[in-house]
Amino acid sequence: MIMSPTAARTPRRRTALGWIPLVVVVLLVGLVAATGGLAKAPGVGPRRFAVGEPVVLARWVLVVDGVDLVDTTSYGSPSAPTLRVRLRATWTGDATEPLLSSGLVHVVVPGGPPPAADVSSVAAGAYSGGFDPDVERPATLEVVWPDGADETTPRVPAPATVQVVVRDEREAQNFLYADQWQVTDPLGHVDVPVTDSRTR
Amino acid sequence: MTAPPPEVAATPATPASSVPRRHVPAALRPVLGLLGCVVLAVAVAVAAPDPSEQLRRRWSDAGPGAWAVTPDRSARVTSVAVVGTVDPGYGDVLASRQALVVAQVDVAVRHRVAQLNHVYLRTADDKEYAPRSELSSAGLAQTQPGFTRHATLVFEVPSDRLPRAELVVDADAASVDGYTDAIRLDLGLGRTVRVSPETVTPAPASVTTT
């Protein structure tokens, strides 16, 4: 019996064609590896920053310098116990921004009662106005601790450290407003020793 | 004898009734209409210029010491100092690691009240610096027609951005902006700007009749 040439090549051709997907996969994996796609990914989750380390955000650069526990206002009058966060902030936009974005920073007291939810911005030295483009200036944030405390609240032991949690922003595109930004999940935090400066 | 007209080959006319027409199902017409509207709206939104970047101004320019004149107001810069420290005369001294530009300006208002709430220093790379509000008592404020306000504005700016900076007395900030006049004043800052170590105390703002 004599087989036709076409019939004789068919099994070999099928065998050769069967290697093509494997070759394609190997090439693709090689391409991904060559472009760095198989490198170990950086750790996922909130990062930890050091005191004094710049935290670079989408529109701000923040540096956490310290936290004081105080019970007087900056003018010296009695106040509720307050955690006062000392920052340096640099606005990287194109025009002066009147306020530090709301929600960028909040404070967590590990193992202790929670601070109030509201974080207020107060004057930092001579600065009480806006943030100019690419000009680093001090900023001070205050949060009452424990939540609900006032001038008459019995004294509680000061926490050794607090976590200053920093969130980033992302632009929220829409057709109604320009330049809308939303605060993201926490980017990371800074463990900051607390200086107890209470007078009562 | 006249030659007979050439014969023209007649093209057989195709009856319109014989051309097949594609009919859109009636149920789909509202959907297609809505899709068309959405596509049109998206196209307009994408193609329309950003209004914040397309503000139209008719600029009036002036050099140091000269008046820039528009129909509603005139303005000039009478002096400019670049220092490291400004003492407001109360509270804390403002000491900058950058540069503090102290500009004395006069704004004469005509015809209608001016808020003068949109004045800023613009650098050569288009960054806008508002006057430091800590020194607002020396700065510009609402001014009635027929009066000239004499003010001192303090701007904190990185010193490398100061060359060719200008002071902009823009249209009053409002919810709706439009085509209008505005003023650009050359601050006279050359290519290299030296920050003086001296401390300046701005004089309180004053108003005189024009």
Q: What is the pLDDT of residue A37?
A: 81
Instruction: Report yes or no: B189 and B162 within 8 Å, Cβ to Cβ.
Output: yes
pTM for the structure as a whole: 0.76
In chain B, positions 164-203, which contact chain A (CB-CB < 8 Å)? Answer: none
* Subunit contact A127:B157, Cβ cutoff 8 A: no
Between these two residues, A16 and B6, which has the higher pLDDT value?
A16
Number of H helices, E strands in chain B: 1, 11
Contact with chain A for residue B160, Cβ under 8 A: no
Q: Quick check: A161 and A194 in contact, CB under 8 A?
A: yes
Percent of chain A, pLDDT > 90? 55
Does some domain include residue B13? no
| Number of domains chain B is built from | 1
CA proximity to B61, closest of B188, B182, B210, B191: B182
Spatial contact of A116 and A108, defined as CB atoms under 8 Å apart = no
Question: CA torsion sign, A181 to A187 to A193 to A196?
Answer: positive
8-state DSSP, B134: G
Q: Average per-residue pLDDT in chain A? A: 87
Q: How far is B99 from chain A (nearest CA, A)?
A: 10
Structure tokens at B127: 């960054």
Residue B192: how many CB atoms within 10 A of its CB? 9
Helix or strand holding residue B61 (H, E): strand B57-62
On whether residue B112 sits in a domain, the answer given is yes
Residues B105-134 have pLDDT tens digits of 999 999 899 999 999 999 999 999 999 988
Q: Which of A75, A92, A96, A173 to mutate to test the interface with B (most CBs of B within 10 A)?
A: A96
Alpha-carbon span A169 to B73, nearest angstrom: 40
Buried b or exposed e, range B150-171, using 16+ CB within 10 angstroms: bbbbbbbbbbebbebbbbbbbb
Pairing of strands B128-129, A136-144: unpaired
Q: Which pLDDT score is estimated for B52?
A: 60
In a domain, B3, yes or no: no
Tokens of A116: 């109030």
Beta-ladder partners of A165? A106, A189
Q: Assess B91–A contact: CB distance below 8 Å, yes or no.
A: yes
A163 token code pair: 């976590």
Q: Residue for token digits 């340096």? A: A88
Do B187 and B166 meet the contact criterion of CB atoms below 8 Å apart?
Answer: yes
What's the CA gap between B77 and A15, in Å, rounded? 86
pLDDT of B79-110, one tens digit each? 999 999 999 888 889 999 999 999 999 999 99
The nearest alpha carbon in chain B to A129 belongs to: B133
Q: Point out which residues pair with B73 in neighbouring strands.
A: B109
Contact A95 B93 (CB under 8 A): no
Interface contact flag, A129 B133, Cβ < 8 Å = yes
Note down the domain range covering B111: 56-209
- pLDDT one-digit tens code per residue, A149-166: 998 989 899 999 999 999
In a domain, B87, yes or no: yes
**A136 contact residues in B (CB cutoff 8 A):** 97
Return the number of other C-beta atoms located less than 10 Å from residue B43's C-beta: 10
Q: A95 and B157: CB-CB below 8 Å?
A: no
The ipTM assigned to this model is 0.74
Indicate whether B43 belongs to any domain. no
Question: Are B135 and B124 spatial neighbours (Cβ–Cβ below 8 Å)?
Answer: no
If you average pLDDT over every residue of chain B, what do you get?
86
Cα distances from A191 to residues A144, A162, B12, B123, in angstroms, run: 18, 6, 91, 38
B94 at the A interface (CB within 8 A)?
yes
Record: contact A126-B133, CB cut-off 8 A: no
Taking contacts as CB-CB distances below 8 angstroms, the residues of chain B near A94 are 126-128
Pick the residue from chain B with its C-alpha nearest to A123.
Answer: B134
Which pLDDT does position B1 carry in this prediction? 42
Size of chain B, expressed as the number of residues it contains: 210
* Rounded percentage of chain A residues whose pLDDT exceeds 70: 89
pLDDT for position B144: 96
Task: Read off the pLDDT of each residue in A15-21 and give the average, rounded to a whole number.
Answer: 77
What backbone phi and psi angles, to 5 degrees, belong to B161? -100, 0
Q: Which residues of B touch A133 (CB under 8 A)?
A: 127-129
Would you call B158 and A95 a contact, using CB atoms and an 8 Å cutoff? no
B40 domain residue, yes or no: no
A and B: number of Cβ contacts within 8 A: 52
Interface probe, candidates A135, A140, A171, A174, chain B, greatest B C-beta count within 10 A? A135
pLDDT beneath 70: ranges in chain B: 1-22, 50-55
Q: Residue A54: is its pLDDT beyond 90?
A: yes
Q: Quick one: pLDDT at residue B101?
A: 96
In this structure, what token pair is assigned to residue B210? 């024009």
Give Cα separations from A65 to A47, A114, A186 (angstroms): 17, 21, 19
Cβ contact, residue pair A134, B158, below 8 Å: yes
Q: What is the pLDDT of residue A1?
A: 47
Test the A interface: residue of B90, B98, B122 with most A CBs within 10 Å: B98
* Mean local confidence (pLDDT), A143-150: 92
Q: In this structure, what CATH number is given to the domain that contains residue B66?
A: 2.60.40.1240
Residue A21 reports pLDDT greater than 90 = no
